[in-house]
Amino acid sequence: MRLELTAEDQAFREEMRTFFTTEVPQELRDAVIEGRELGRAEFVQSQQILNAAGLAVPHWPEEWGGRGWSELRRHIWLEELQRAGVPAPLAFNANMIGPVLAQFASQEMKERFLPTTANLDIWWSQGFSEPDAGSDLASLRTTAVRDGDGWVVNGQKTWTTLGQYGDWIFTLVRTDPQAKKQAGISMLLIDMTSPGLEVRPIELIDGGHEVNEVWFTDVRVPGENLVGELNQGWTMAKFLLGNERVGVAPVGTVKRVLARAKELAGPQLEDPLVRARVAELENELLALELTAIRVAAHSAGAEPHPASSVLKLKGTELQQAVSELVLDLAGPASLASGAPDGPDGSDLPAWARRSAPTYLNLRKASIYGGSNEIQRQIIARTILGL
Amino acid sequence: MDFTYDDEQVALREAVRGLVGKAYSDFEQRRRTVAEEPGWSEEVWARLAEMGILGLPFAEEDGGVGAGPAEVGIVAHELGRVLAPEPFLASVVLAGTAVAEAGTPQQRAEVLGPLAAGERVLALAYADGATPVTASEQAGAWTLSGTKEPVLHGARADLLVVSAALPGAGSGLFLVQGDAAARTGYRTYDGARAARVVLDGTAAVPLGEPGADQSAALAAALDTGRVAACHEALGAMSVALAATTAYLKSRKQFGVPLSTFQSLTFRAADMYVSLELATSIASWATMVLAERGPAAATEAVSRAALQVSRSGRHVGQEAVQLHGGIAMTAEYLVGNLTAHLTALDHLLGDGHHHLRGLAAAVDGHGALDPLAR
């Protein structure tokens, strides 16, 4: 057992901290820290700064821009990035389709897509969920039918996060309707400018436009856009969703928000109930962070540690609890969310006006990435053997 | 940062697991042992002494082994798994650490050597009873008066380490011969033994320099004890979870195993989450204590104690509920684990106590950083 980081890891941490706080523009990080919605240009700007320094996709194979870091270093990288308020590399690119392509795609497809994916020249959308296939993903019904060299796709995807910015979408489609439901699924890459593809916004309870429906009506897709083998889609989906849980505990972000909540609390921090609530959250967050470090230190190879479900489950619970604390600190001021910025707007502070939309938006955290009920099922089955 | 045990530590764990597992793997054996005085096995105690366990945390020149909090934690974890009733926590960790922290070199050698050898059982009397204990001095001779209660294993102890208010300010630590005090022993709800100790002008030997404030030494002993108690709780929790998991798989209701009911498996999954969080933070506090010493570890120890309190209650309560009525019976392990978790929680300050301290200091830092130097 050893408490401290090695001198090398400590130096690495300093290097990351310095980079994130000096190389990524302050105004971009302030937007994240204040909870403002970011546009496409801001995500692209941030990721390209990271990519130029080799910090956008450190967990990829080294051949494609990965750094060969230990899991601990990846944890440190992510935590420092979050604490500095740097927008994380777009998850659809960096954590989802990138690793899948690196693992399963042909050399030609890798060369075509991986560098542009790392640099966010292509903005990827995720086309997995359907109206009747959420956590039960294998029930999906969107079809791809052979037509000469290519495919014709029909169906509907939903909850396509930030799909309004998407250039390409990676989809799971049913290619063999006769096979058992997991066996007849393939992964197709689809250009979102294809005729017959339509993105329709879904309005959410926080008032923002974050997710979309994507409709496919006789969309023609070239045969070469099939990833890996025909009907191998389920294997790739499992690989992708397994990766999604790793690093999903937003420790750095929650820590930053909780520390800021103490500043924002002002005189309310004199209230012993508030103090106790903060202290309890801080303690749970510390326990979570230490668990994340334990999991990182014990992870071997590409296989996610089974306890990573703990991180998703507890991480999102804490993320929600901290947003709830900020909302409660704002109190009635949180109702002013509709006020415009500027001299004609509200006199109430921006953080208080953002607190309710943020709180409502974060209800999603325990639903996406494998709902927390799915995580409990994974723990019960794979760890406890129930 | 590294949470893994090295080869020697793993070997220690296996050795202790082998010894106490053999003695108490049959829960009936543990019940029989606990039913008779002194509530634990002199034979197992002697074997622990032979293995060097009773001298584990003490310096070699004091007759110990020179190991640290990590090793103490390993032993406590194994004792917690089988609810071994031997007074390792009370005698070695709490009382022993108080002597190691406060005693002169001569006192340490005289007291800790026989403790490590299993020849003398110690108890730490730190909680005041109805009348707080005060110390008086006349012509260089010290006496104590007042009541200490509850004193864990206080009736069986050969030697008591007693905290007492000094004539000036502060608290001293004193050695009192066990049979010099009036002691009323009783059984605690988890099968351990405790006592009321009444001192009435009882002769006492100051630990360390006479009249010097030993509050820091006592605090160090309590914090060291808290960390060991955390590990004992982790051992009990891990077995409670394993027993619950096994029970859900084997027990049938409505013609199917309980594990087919999702509401039950989800609750077991949450028990696992609680255990993992407690394990992480207790391991961290152990490292802070080992590498930075008790004075620097107070907050870390409080943090671990708070999480272990929360997790211990959650795991203990759910283990009983998911087992159903069988867990309410004294002859079944699980309810006893829950009782012991409850006792450990209250022994050294419960979650409420630690949360109060942490809440009072909550504006003293921006964000907690366990990776900082």
Whole-angstrom CA distances from B319 to B84, B100, B155, B232, B325 are 19, 38, 33, 17, 11
Percentage, residues of chain B above pLDDT 70? 100
- B299: nearest Cα among B281, B326, B314, B311: B281
**Do B278 and A258 make contact, defined as CB atoms within 8 angstroms?**
no
Is the model's pLDDT at A203 over the cut of 80? yes
**Do B277 and A297 make contact, defined as CB atoms within 8 angstroms?**
no
B105 neighbors B164 (Cβ within 8 angstroms): no
Is the model's pLDDT at A303 over the cut of 70? no
**Do B288 and A3 make contact, defined as CB atoms within 8 angstroms?**
yes
Distance from CA of A237 to the nearest CA of B (A): 24
d(CA B187, CA B196): 11
Please report the pLDDT score of residue A195 as a whole number.
98
User: Which residues of chain A are within 8 Å of residue B358 when distances are taken between CB atoms?
Assistant: 279, 282-283
Region B283-290: mean pLDDT is 97
If you measure CA to CA, which chain A residue comes closest to B266?
A376
Is the model's pLDDT at A152 over the cut of 60? yes
**Residue A285 in contact with partner chain B when CB distance is under 8 A:** yes
Active site residue A324: no
A238-248 burial string, b = 16+ CB within 10 Å, else e? Answer: ebbbbbbbbbb
Please report the pLDDT score of residue B292 as a whole number.
96
Tell me the pLDDT tens digit for each residue of B202-227. 999 999 999 999 999 999 999 999 99
**Residue A167 in contact with partner chain B when CB distance is under 8 A:** no
Is the model's pLDDT at A247 over the cut of 70? no
Tell me the pLDDT tens digit for each residue of A54-106. 999 999 999 999 999 988 899 999 999 999 999 999 999 999 999 999 999 99
- A127: nearest Cα among A211, A2, A218, A9: A211
**Residue A276 in contact with partner chain B when CB distance is under 8 A:** yes
3-class DSSP state for residue A219?
strand
Q: Would you state the torsion angle of the CA atoms of residues A101, A107, A112, A118, taken in this order, to the nearest 10 degrees? A: 40
Phi, psi of A8, deg, nearest 5: -65, -45
The band of B337, judged by pLDDT with boundaries at 50, 70 and 90, is very high
Tell me the pLDDT tens digit for each residue of A305-315. 667 889 999 99
Is the model's pLDDT at A207 over the cut of 70? yes
Partners of A198 in the β-ladder? A215
Which residue in the set A259, A283, A288 is minimally distant from B306, CB to CB? A283
Choice between A208 and A45, residue whose per-residue pLDDT is larger: A45
d(CA A202, CA A171): 19
**Residue A3 in contact with partner chain B when CB distance is under 8 A:** yes
How confident is the prediction for chain A on average, in pLDDT? 93
Whole-angstrom CA distances from B234 to A88, B23, B277, B308, B341 are 36, 20, 10, 8, 9
The band of B269, judged by pLDDT with boundaries at 50, 70 and 90, is very high
Region A150-168: mean pLDDT is 96
Classify the C-alpha dihedral B210-B215-B220-B222 as positive or negative. positive
Q: Could you tell me the end-to-end alpha-carbon distance of chain A, in angstroms, rounded to an integer? A: 32
Number of helical H runs and strand E runs in chain A = 13, 8
**Do B2 and A2 make contact, defined as CB atoms within 8 angstroms?**
yes
- Total-model pTM: 0.94
**Do A282 and B284 make contact, defined as CB atoms within 8 angstroms?**
no
User: Which residues of chain A are within 8 Å of residue B231 when distances are taken between CB atoms?
Assistant: none
The band of B241, judged by pLDDT with boundaries at 50, 70 and 90, is very high
Q: Could you tell me the end-to-end alpha-carbon distance of chain B, in angstroms, rounded to an integer? A: 11
**Residue B138 in contact with partner chain A when CB distance is under 8 A:** no
Q: CB neighbours of A381 closer than 8 A, spacing ≥ 6? A: B265
**Do A377 and B262 make contact, defined as CB atoms within 8 angstroms?**
yes
Please report the pLDDT score of residue B191 as a whole number.
96
Is the model's pLDDT at A5 over the cut of 60? yes
The band of A240, judged by pLDDT with boundaries at 50, 70 and 90, is confident
**Residue A205 in contact with partner chain B when CB distance is under 8 A:** no
Is the model's pLDDT at A17 over the cut of 90? yes
User: Which residues of chain A are within 8 Å of residue B288 when distances are taken between CB atoms?
Assistant: 3
Q: Which of A128-132, B264-268, B289-293 has the lowest mean pLDDT?
A: A128-132
User: Which residues of chain B are within 8 Å of residue A285 when distances are taken between CB atoms?
Assistant: 368
If you measure CA to CA, which chain B residue comes closest to A292?
B280
The band of A208, judged by pLDDT with boundaries at 50, 70 and 90, is confident
User: A4, A244, A289, A373: which one is catalytic?
Assistant: A244
**Do B277 and A314 make contact, defined as CB atoms within 8 angstroms?**
yes
**Do B278 and A287 make contact, defined as CB atoms within 8 angstroms?**
yes
Partners of B137 in the β-ladder? B142
Residues within 8 A of A (CB atoms), B 242-281 only: 245, 248-249, 259, 262, 265-266, 268-270, 272-273, 276-281
- A86: nearest Cα among A119, A42, A54: A42
**Do B3 and A294 make contact, defined as CB atoms within 8 angstroms?**
yes
Please report the pLDDT score of residue A299 as a whole number.
58
d(CA B305, CA A161): 41
- Residue B283 burial (CB count, 10 A): 26
**Do A297 and B1 make contact, defined as CB atoms within 8 angstroms?**
yes
Phi, psi of B185, deg, nearest 5: -90, 150
The band of A242, judged by pLDDT with boundaries at 50, 70 and 90, is confident
Q: Which of A32-41, B78-87, B145-154, B188-197 has the lowest mean pLDDT?
A: A32-41
Distance from CA of B294 to the nearest CA of A (A): 15
If you measure CA to CA, which chain A residue comes closest to B289?
A3
Tell me the pLDDT tens digit for each residue of A333-348. 999 998 887 788 899 9
Q: Looking up tokens 């190991």, which residue turns up?
A: B67
Please give, one letter per residue, the 3-state secondary structure of B47-72.
HHHHCCHHHCCCCHHHCCCCCCHHHH
User: Which residues of chain B are within 8 Å of residue A313 when distances are taken between CB atoms?
Assistant: 273
Tell me the pLDDT tens digit for each residue of B126-138. 999 999 999 999 9
Region B313-328: mean pLDDT is 97
ipTM: 0.94
**Residue B359 in contact with partner chain A when CB distance is under 8 A:** yes
If you measure CA to CA, which chain A residue comes closest to B277?
A287
Tell me the pLDDT tens digit for each residue of A258-272. 999 999 999 999 999
Which residue in the set B1, B266, B303 is minimally distant from A4, CB to CB? B1
- B111: nearest Cα among B196, B176, B43: B176
**Do B307 and A287 make contact, defined as CB atoms within 8 angstroms?**
yes
The band of A295, judged by pLDDT with boundaries at 50, 70 and 90, is confident
Distance from CA of A335 to the nearest CA of B (A): 27
- DSSP per residue, B80-108: HHHT--S-IIIIIIIIIHHHHHHS-HHHH
Distance from CA of B196 to the nearest CA of A (A): 34
Please report the pLDDT score of residue A248 as a whole number.
67
Percentage, residues of chain A above pLDDT 70? 96
Please report the pLDDT score of residue A357 as a whole number.
93
Q: Which helix (H) or strand (E) holds A255?
A: helix A251-265
Residues within 8 A of A (CB atoms), B 220-249 only: 241, 245, 248-249
**Residue B76 in contact with partner chain A when CB distance is under 8 A:** no
Region A327-332: mean pLDDT is 97
The band of A300, judged by pLDDT with boundaries at 50, 70 and 90, is low
How confident is the prediction for chain B on average, in pLDDT? 97
**Residue A5 in contact with partner chain B when CB distance is under 8 A:** yes
Distance from CA of A180 to the nearest CA of B (A): 24
Please report the pLDDT score of residue A297 as a whole number.
74
The band of B312, judged by pLDDT with boundaries at 50, 70 and 90, is very high
